[in-house]
Structure 1
Amino acid sequence: PRGAAYWAWCPAVPVEAVNNAHVDVLGVLLAVAGLGLVAAPAPGRRGREGAVLRRRAGGGLVLGAAVATKLMPAIVLPGALSGVRRVRDAVAVLLPAAAFTALAYLPYVLLSHGSVLGYLGGYVEEEGYEDPSAGSRYALLRLVLPGDWAVPVLLVAMAGVCGYVLWRGDPRRPWSGALLVTGWAFALLTPGYSWYALLLVGLVALDGRWEWLGIAVAGPAVYVTGQAFGSRGAVSATAYGAAVLLVLVVTAVRWRRQRGEGLGASLRAA
């Protein structure tokens, strides 16, 4: 019930998914369903390996449909591979996802003669992703780094987060890894559109770590108030900085509490 409330009661859902009818909500639905399918069974409920691989392949197809709907759900793919140790387990997800996406785009490629990407290149340039010194992107990185360093540091940081999820993630809860990757990607890229938050809200609803909702709120805050304050960069740095601080503080408190509970259980057992 709490997870459902995170989704249903979040203002971004009725505003962006219903009122503004952004297609992102379909991508979120497919991404959430795909992550549910690729989740490893609990230790006491392990079925035949063939059935598990078919389920993962089905999840890969659904994730491919999510990416074909809108490219952003591709960011959950590292989470879908949380804790995967065998190549065939990874291939069972990635190959169907790539095949579905490629086949979905094939008619457009054949008919458009290479213009299938549409305005994507213009969007990247317009939003300042190519030039870190422009706009309000990479706002937190630019607080502590020269603008030219923002993209390389972002790539290294995200590679580290993805590596952590792939190696230490829980295969029974791939949405937890997906939330970690998506949350930090948003925090470092600092996007300024409110409908992007739908994916993050959906992952929070699955995982339950409510502190990441602060990242989801930061984008709409920049989108709504950036012009009013005259500096989208300053608003972006403030909003995302506060959201990251919330994540770090709550994560530290939760870790200390869990550590204390584990220590207490060990002492009682002794």
Structure 2
Amino acid sequence: MRGVAGGLVAIAISAGVVAAAAAGWWPNLVLVVGCLVVGGVGWLLVRRPAGAHVVLGVVAVAALCQVPGLLSAPITSTDAYRYVWDGRVQLSGSSPYSHVPLADELAGLRDPVLFPGLSPADRTGVTGPPSVPHNPAAVAALSADDSRTRINRPRVPTIYPPVAQAYFAAVALVTPWSAGTFGLQVAAAALAVALTALLALELKRRDRDPRWALLWGWSPIVALEASSAAHVDVLAAVFIVAAVSLATRRRPVLAGLLLGAAAATKLLPLLLLPAFTAVRRRDLRTPLVAVGTLAASYLPHLLAAGALVIGFLPGYLTQEGFSDGSSRSAILALVLPPEARQLAAGLLAVTLAVLALHRHDREPIAVTCCWLYGAALLITTPTYPWYGLPLIALAVLANRFEWLVVPAAAYLAYASFGHDDRQGLIYLTAAVMVLSVITVRHRPVLQNRFDELVGARQH
């Protein structure tokens, strides 16, 4: 009965978060409290022996948690409309890297769902290959939204890598134009449920309680960003977890293929390469295969679009402050001037990469991936909280639940957009919470090393 009650609570929280967001007010506190409640439910459930059908129960509730998000259009962002467009463009034989959504060459692909203010007969005057300026003010002007379309940044090319593009095209192939983003929402919901099953089975294989997979499958964040917003980060999370699982089974080539697929879905997983690099054993198969997979995925698009295959990536980096030296790092912004932030962020990133290489054979790869991904988010503090979806899955897999505060804090920071100090303090609070838990966990080890140093000096 406790499991049934917990499942009903999780479903109610998911529905409440989605309904609150759809009603027009940002459900930050509801979402954060909901995550805490789901975490408490998980703690209560694992205090009693698991039943015979525990994995099926967790997955079934995860599927029901995704239902509320399917009942409305995307809430937290309009990215899904770009996904629909990119898939449609590819099926037409064109490249989303070579044309922007407002281009008149693709006017025949417009419909009332994506372009409520433009018909196929209308002309925008936007023609020719896209060009992304380097000046931050010019990039901001070019990437402004247009009321005639629901697609964000309709004057710039896509930013999404090739595996994400293949996913968009596959979903577009089976989704009627009139359905809009619904096909992608269903696909993202299915991926979220599949990842719940993968996590539960992997935890069971590691002799851990598979019910901890509910921290992913029942999470209000996953409900909001999968079936509602259809963010492609869910697909990246699936690839990352599968890569980690295969790496622990000594399948380095397959792990590399999946890690490369994750990076070709959302470039951020490239940050995990050091965690898969076995320097001491001189085994570089996983990182080499991952980089090769990423490069190979770009080859068909490179042949079709040439240098335009880079898409809007330079413009995005400019908007996020990585090209002018200011960087996005909200925590570093509390103590450092703009010109010093990028250098500090770079030094921290290198330090983390070296530490990950050092820790490769000293801790489970899931643990290394978890803190490496989480620390990267705390350093860069990206504007978009759904970037933290893979971190939720990694925290569950690694049994490092303290990192779950980072995606939760990201929503509070997202609601504070434009208030840089407030964003920095929110992320700083999350960082302090994470470091406090890590310190408590490693206190005996630290105490022993301290005693050894004191003893060595006394002798």
Q: Same fold (TM over 0.5)?
A: yes
Partner of 1:265: none
> By how many angstroms is 1:94 displaced?
1.8
The aligned runs of 1:12-51 (5 Å cut-off) are 12-39=221-248
Deviations 1:145-167 (A, max 9, x none): 22211111111111111111111
> By how many angstroms is 1:232 displaced?
2.9
Partner of 2:331: 140
Q: Which amino acid aligns with 2:310?
A: L
Measure, in 2, the Cα distance between the counterparts of 1:14 and 1:256. 36
**Percent sequence identity over aligned pairs:** 36
Residue of structure 2 aligned with 1:71, choices 267, 280, 286: 267
Deviations 1:38-72 (A, max 9, x none): 12x5xxxxxxxxxx4xx111110111111111211
**C-alpha contact (below 8 Å) 1:80/1:177 kept by paired residues:** no
Partner of 1:268: none
Q: Which amino acid aligns with 1:79?
A: A
> By how many angstroms is 1:36 displaced?
1.3
Helix, strand or coil for the counterpart of 1:85? Answer: coil
Partner of 1:266: none
Cα distance change of structure 1 residues 2 and 207 upon mapping to structure 2, 3 Å threshold: farther
The aligned runs of 1:216-235 (5 Å cut-off) are 216-223=407-414, 225-227=415-417, 231-235=418-422
Partner of 1:8: 217
**1:151 is aligned to 2:342:** yes
Helix, strand or coil for the counterpart of 2:439? Answer: helix
Length-normalised TM-score, structure 2: 0.49
Deviations 1:165-194 (A, max 9, x none): 111234662121111211111111111212
Q: Which amino acid aligns with 2:280?
A: R
Q: Count the aligned residue pairs.
A: 240
Residue of structure 2 aligned with 1:85, choices 241, 261, 280: 280
> By how many angstroms is 1:131 displaced?
3.5
Cα distance change of structure 1 residues 56 and 171 upon mapping to structure 2, 3 Å threshold: farther
**C-alpha contact (below 8 Å) 2:369/2:394 kept by paired residues:** yes
Length-normalised TM-score, structure 1: 0.82
Residue of structure 1 aligned with 2:426, choices 239, 242, 251: 239
Partner of 2:186: none
> By how many angstroms is 1:259 displaced?
6.5
Measure, in 1, the Cα distance between the counterparts of 2:246 and 2:375. 24
Q: Which amino acid aligns with 1:11?
A: P
Measure, in 2, the Cα distance between the counterparts of 1:84 and 1:36. 20
Higher helix fraction (1 or 2): 1
Q: Which amino acid aligns with 2:237?
A: V
Helix, strand or coil for the counterpart of 2:383? Answer: coil
Partner of 1:114: 307
Partner of 1:188: 379
Measure, in 1, the Cα distance between the counterparts of 2:334 and 2:259. 35
**1:176 is aligned to 2:367:** yes
**1:214 is aligned to 2:423:** no
> By how many angstroms is 1:86 displaced?
2.3
Moved over 6 A (4+): 258-261
Measure, in 2, the Cα distance between the counterparts of 1:104 and 1:182. 23
Helix, strand or coil for the counterpart of 2:416? Answer: helix
Cα distance change of structure 1 residues 159 and 3 upon mapping to structure 2, 3 Å threshold: farther
Deviations 1:184-212 (A, max 9, x none): 11111111212101011111011111111
Partner of 1:62: 258
Cα distance change of structure 1 residues 171 and 107 upon mapping to structure 2, 3 Å threshold: farther
Helix, strand or coil for the counterpart of 1:4? Answer: helix
Measure, in 1, the Cα distance between the counterparts of 2:407 and 2:264. 23
Higher relative contact order (CA 8 A, sep 6+): 1
> By how many angstroms is 1:132 displaced?
5.0
Gap runs ≥5 in structure 2: 1-209, 449-459
> By how many angstroms is 1:256 displaced?
2.1
Q: Which amino acid aligns with 1:176?
A: V
Measure, in 2, the Cα distance between the counterparts of 1:95 and 1:106. 17
**C-alpha contact (below 8 Å) 2:377/2:388 kept by paired residues:** no
Q: Which amino acid aligns with 1:208?
A: N
> By how many angstroms is 1:85 displaced?
1.0
**1:103 is aligned to 2:301:** no
**1:166 is aligned to 2:357:** yes
**C-alpha contact (below 8 Å) 1:211/1:246 kept by paired residues:** yes
Q: Which amino acid aligns with 1:115?
A: L
**C-alpha contact (below 8 Å) 1:140/1:237 kept by paired residues:** yes
**C-alpha contact (below 8 Å) 2:244/2:255 kept by paired residues:** yes
Q: Which amino acid aligns with 2:323?
A: E
Which stretch has the larger CA shift, 137-146 or 27-36? 137-146
Measure, in 2, the Cα distance between the counterparts of 1:2 and 1:152. 42
Measure, in 2, the Cα distance between the counterparts of 1:30 and 1:211. 22
> By how many angstroms is 1:257 displaced?
5.4
Cα distance change of structure 1 residues 166 and 124 upon mapping to structure 2, 3 Å threshold: same
> By how many angstroms is 1:235 displaced?
2.4
Q: Which has the larger radius of gyration?
A: 2
Deviations 1:105-159 (A, max 9, x none): 101011101111211111111122334547xx21111222222111111111111
> By how many angstroms is 1:2 displaced?
4.8
